[in-house]
Each structure stands twice: as C-alpha cells, then as structure tokens.
Amino acid sequence: MLPVEMMPGVYWVGVNDYITQMFEGLWSIKQSGICYNSYLVRRTKTALIDLAKSFQTEELITQIKTVVDIGMLDYIVLNHVEPDHAGALNIIRQLAPKAVLVGSKITQKMLKAFYGIDFDIHVVSDGDELSLGDSQLRFITMPFVHWPESMMTYMPDEQLLFSNDAFGGYGLLPGAIYADLYDIEHLRQENLRYFVNIVAHYEKPVSKLLAKISDVPVRMIAPSHGPIWREGVTRLACWYQEWLDCASGKAQEAVTLIYASMYQNTERMMEAVAQGVVSQKVPLNVFNVSNVHVSYILPSLLERGGVIVGSPTYEGELFPPVAEVIRYAAEKKIHHRKAAFFGSYGWGGGAKDGFVCLIKPMAWELTDSLEVTGAPTEQDLQRAERLGAQFAQRIKTSEK
C-alpha cells in the first residue's frame, strides 16, 4: 500500500504483515494479520516516528523514499524499541547517517541490548518538546504500556497523537488507513483482543495513562498497529476504561462457557448447560479450548461476568488445555468472576479440585458444580441444564 498523507506534511508510511502467524510468538493473527505503522513528519526538519519489523525493512525503505530522500531524515523517534516497532533501525540508520535517534532514558539502555547501539541518543522526558521548525513534537511517557521505555509522541498544533501500542489493534490495512472506513464493531473486537492480549496485565499503568492524557486535545490518533482514528477518537479511551472496569469485576451480565472433551461426555454436558443458560435469556459465548486459540477466548472472559468451565479429569487434574486458559486469565488479571464447573471423570476425579486451586488467587467465586462418572445419563443432562439455568439467574441477580 502506498504512503498516505494524513495531514499536511504528515504521512503514513507503514507496512502490512501478511506472513506472521503468531504475534509475539504467542497470539494468533492467522486470520487478522497485523500492520506496523510508521509515520513521517515533514516540516523544516523531518522526523520518522517508529519503524517496522526487520524482515520488512526493504518495504519500509521503499515507503519512505516515496515521500522523502531517506538520507535527509533529521530525527528517528523511537516510541518503543520492541522489534516489531524498531527492527529495521540499524539499516535505516545506515541510510540516514545524520538522523538523531530520539527516545526515553530507558530507550538509551535498551538500544544497546537489542540493536548494539551504544552511542548517545537525544534523551527526552515526559513533557519535553522537540522543534521541527514550524511544528513541535511533545513526548508523553507511558511506562509499562507495555514496556518500561514506552512513550507517545504528540503534535500540539495539529492535535495529533502517535499513541504507540496504546489504542492499537490487530488487523491489516488493505486499501485504507482510516478506522471510519472499516466496520466499527470488527475494529472494537480486534482492539479488545489486542488490549487483553498485550496490555491488560498492566492495568495500573494503563489507568494512569488514561488520566494523564484525559485533558490533551486530540483530533487524530495514530497507533502503531491498526487503523488511524480521525473520527470518534474519544471512544478509544472510553473502550479502555470500560475494559479496565470489566477486568476489576464490573463486567457484563453475560456468560463465557469454555470446555474441552476427550470422548464427548463433557461435550454432551456442555450442550445441556448451554441450553440452561440460554433459557434464561442470558448472552452466552461457547469456546472449545482444544480448537480455539486463547487470544480469542480472553476477550470474552474479560467482558463477561460469568464463567462456566467444563473439563474432564486428566491424570487426576484439570484437563491441560482448560487449565492453560485459566492461567492466561490470571496472567491478564481477570478477577472477581462468578464461576460454575462441570465435567466427566473415569474413576477418581480431580479436575474440579484443580479448577478451585487455580481460581482462588483470582477471587473467582465457584457457585455451582456437577461431575459425573463416565457418560452422562439422561438425569445427569437434566441436572446439567438446571445448573446452566441456575447459574444464569445468579449472573442476572449479581449484576443488578
């Protein structure tokens, strides 16, 4: 995709990544892909803000050269040194030898570790400004959203915020860079998925960032991943606050059901439990954890106040793929949920005990449970349906 002039003299020169299957080697982007947004600001002096992954260096160079002679770059602003933001740095430096690197004090230290750069850079602190002649760049530090050196770059006159990983999302930019040209609900889901996968662990730094920028006038938000927001920019902070509230317990009156089944016994119970939930007109998401990547499950666990877990016993423990999802939820600090458990075991059981052990540090309240030996009988399935209905009623009552 060719560069796009977002504002007079301000260009998107990013690249789309159609190749990477697992973002950070952990989160599935097989369906969504991802983009690495790089921005070029041309004033009396020229600044490049963030780069791209190393394997897309050649494409990034082509993008920059379309707008400006790369050797004429005055500054390279490093909002973040993670390799999906700065992997192309060393080659860009060779082509732009006079460009000054700009970053936080911690950036200075991390550049040596990641890129072998041990010379001094132009270190900026929170609120510092850098003149490009007829425009200013102001720097807003945001430590641990989601790395310690992270910062935003803001253009006060243009009211343009280069927001780094904050307000970013998964997804490619096939033909258009602006959020208003895409389906808003799809963008919300990909932003939510990115939020819970990448930054939700750092809820306190995110909350501090929202407070810090609450009075900053913004006309356009340009994140490092996902589309640029030129309309409805306030919704991004509202989404983040909503998701922070969900994580702390103010979640939706709705249920996430996660399950796995070895020989369809737990799966048959799942269908009965789901039927019970739906009978009470409570929204329900169902995920087979053996087939659905955890990156798609976590958003539902974050937003919804009820969690039902179905698991067979495996070697006296919770079925491993189910346990993995619960551990991810703990890592992402999804706390204060009401929970129910069901499952099948062969002889001694143990899955429920494993589940109870995992959810205790998360302050999840186990309100209902049902375990059967072997295949569920008709009576067992009726009990499973009642469990689902009863749990749904609890969710409706607790959210009033």
Pick the CATH number of 255-394 from 3.30.2350.10, 3.40.50.360, 2.60.120.260, 3.40.50.450: 3.40.50.360
Per-residue confidence (pLDDT) for residue 188, from 0 to 100: 97
State the helix-helix crossing angle for 203-213 and 234-248, rounded to 10 degrees: 150
What pLDDT, on the 0 to 100 scale, is given for residue 83? 95
The three state secondary structure string of the chain is CCCEEEECCEEECCEEECCCCEECCCEECCCCCEEECCEEEECCCEEEECCCCHHHHHHHHHHHHHHCCHHHCCEEECCCCCHHHHCCHHHHHHHCCCCEEEECHHHHHHHHHHHCCCCCCEECCCCCEEECCCCEEEEEECCCCCCCCCEEEEECCCCEEEEECCCCCCECCCCCCEHHHCCHHHHHHHHHHHHHHHHHHHHHHHHHHHHHHCCCCCCEEEECCCCEECCCCHHHHHHHHHHHHHHHCCCEEEEEEEECCCCCHHHHHHHHHHHHHHHCCCCEEEEECCCCCHHHHHHHHHHEEEEEEECCEECCEECHHHHHHHHHHHHCCCCCCEEEEEEEECCCCCHHHHHHHHHHHHCCEEEEEEEEECCCCHHHHHHHHHHHHHHHHHHHHHCC
218 Cβ contact list (under 8 Å, min separation 6): 159, 160, 161, 233
pLDDT of the residue at 398: 67
Query: What pLDDT, on the 0 to 100 scale, is given for residue 249?
Result: 83
Residue 384 structure tokens: 């499973």
Domain 4-245 classification at class level: alpha beta
Burial 69-91 (b: 16+ CB within 10 A, else e): ebeebbbbbbbbbbbbbbbbbee
Q: Give phi and psi for 261, each to the nearest 5.
A: -150, 135
Q: What are phi and psi of 306, to 5 degrees?
A: -115, 140
Domain spans in the chain, listed from the N-terminal domain onward: 4-245, 255-394
Give the C-alpha separation, 240 to 142, whole Å: 15
Average pLDDT for runs of 10 along the chain of length 400: 96 97 96 97 98 96 97 97 96 96 95 93 97 97 96 98 98 96 97 97 96 97 98 96 92 97 96 98 98 98 97 96 97 96 93 96 96 96 98 81
CB 112 within 8 A of CB 106: no
